Every structure is written in structure tokens, then in C-alpha cells.
Structure 1
Amino acid sequence: MLGTWRWNVVFGFIGTVLTVAFSIGNNPISVMLLRSMYAFIAFFVLAFVMRAVLTYILQPPSIVGEQPELDEGIGTQLDMLTPDETDDLNQMLKSQLQDGKTTPVNEGQANAAAAFRPLNPPQLLSSKNTQPEELVKAIRHLTGE
């Protein structure tokens, strides 16, 4: 059920207050108290019915034909294996022990090192002796005039 019984009591008190407010000038106190008690009971029951309807409306829809999970452990563990690279590791260790003798692994590294050249971009230089006409022409070109 949506909420607790306290909601029912709150709605019952709201009904009581409304009944007292509308009948205080027209009825004697005994009639007013009796009707406010009836209003409390009516609003209490009405709040109960409204909570039941809201609970029914707001429940998530069930999927038709939903199959229960057969295995509770599915998806709780991740089993991953790394590829076996012991041969490559042994080959690299052997090549280090041979002190620079080239092996197939070292040959690939040597070729990659020989083919590598660091980037050598041209340096940007600014000229200190620029003519004012050239600066004005550049500014006009940049501003679109």
C-alpha cells in the first residue's frame, strides 16, 4: 500500500476541520461534533480507498510470459583470461641476456627505432620591422572590411 495509516488520519482530520468550519454557525455543538466524527470516519475510509487505487495504478507493469531465472549465480562473476604470453616474455629475457645480439624480437625493435624520427616543426618567427600599411591590410583582411 502506498504510504502509511498516518495519511488516513491526516485526511480524516482535514474532513473534520472542513465539517466544523462549514457548520459552526448553523448547528448546535452536539450536532456539529457528531457530524465531524462522521466526516472523520468517511474521510479516513476515502483516504484508504484512494491509497489502494494509487498503489494499483503506480505499480510497475509485469511482463507477460516472463521466465524466472534458473540460475541465481549467472552474471555475478566475471571470468576473464589474458592470453598466454610466456613465450614472448621468455624470448625477451633471453635477448636481454645475450647483451645486444639481435634476435627476431630485437630486430623488430631495432627497425622501429631506426624508422622513428622525432617531429621537427618549423619555428614561427615574428618580424619586428613590419610596415604600418601591411598591418592595416592584415587587420582589414581579418575583420572582413
Structure 2
Amino acid sequence: MSGNIRWNLGFGIAGFAFTFLLSVQNNLLTTSLVRSVYAFLIWFVITFILRAILFQLLASKEVVESSTVQGSDDLVGGQLDLVIPDETEELHDLLKPTPKEQKAVQEGFVPLNPPKIVKVSDQDPEQMAKVIRHLTED
């Protein structure tokens, strides 16, 4: 990997300082130091991982550039040639109505006829009063 460990240490120290300054105002000194050490380790590892990824990306870019300079077209993955099949007929078939749907369209609109609610008005008022008293007593 190109570079050296100074980048990792620099970002780790910056994470340590930032965490310590924000944490020391509300916590004990030992708690702030422990959290700052954790922040240093996390920033150190994150920087290491990001530098490794960046190194891999730059190395692959250099390989591509060197192969194009030499005139080599045999680079795997250098070109991608895809042909998408024509599916317009299948889409039109999906949009065409089925015979069942055509029959419904020919019959026209048929409104929904739900069953009617029957009102029970022939109840004895004294019995209704007893039921209400019984429900309110619970």
C-alpha cells in the first residue's frame, strides 16, 4: 500500500482529540479518556481500510491505463456488449383483455347490490331498558 502509517495516526489523533474535547465537558476524565482511546482505534482502522480500498482502486486504474497504452484489447471486462431481446409483443399480449374481461366489458356496468340492513323496531321498551341497566351496572 502506498504511503505510510502517518495518515492513520493523524486521523486517529484527530478522532481522539475531537472525542476528548466533546466528552470531557459532561463526563469524568477517565471516562473521557477511555472513549477517546476507542475513538482513536476506530478512526485508525477506518483510515486503514479506506486507504486500502483507495490503493486497490488506483492500482486497477493504473493497470487499465498501462494496457491501453500498450494497445492490448484482451483486457478481461474491458468491453461489455449486451443485446436486450425485443419483448414488445409479450407486453402487448399482457395488456390485451382476457375473454372473461371482454365479457364483463360487453355486459356493461353492474352495480354492487349489498344486502339491506333490517331495522328491528318491534322490541319491547321495558326489555331494552333492562338490558341497558344491566350493561351500565357492570
TM bucket by the smaller chain? 0.3 to 0.5
Q: TM-score, normalised by structure 1?
A: 0.42
- Give 1 or 2 for the bigger CA radius of gyration: 1
Greater helix fraction, Structure 1 or Structure 2 = 2
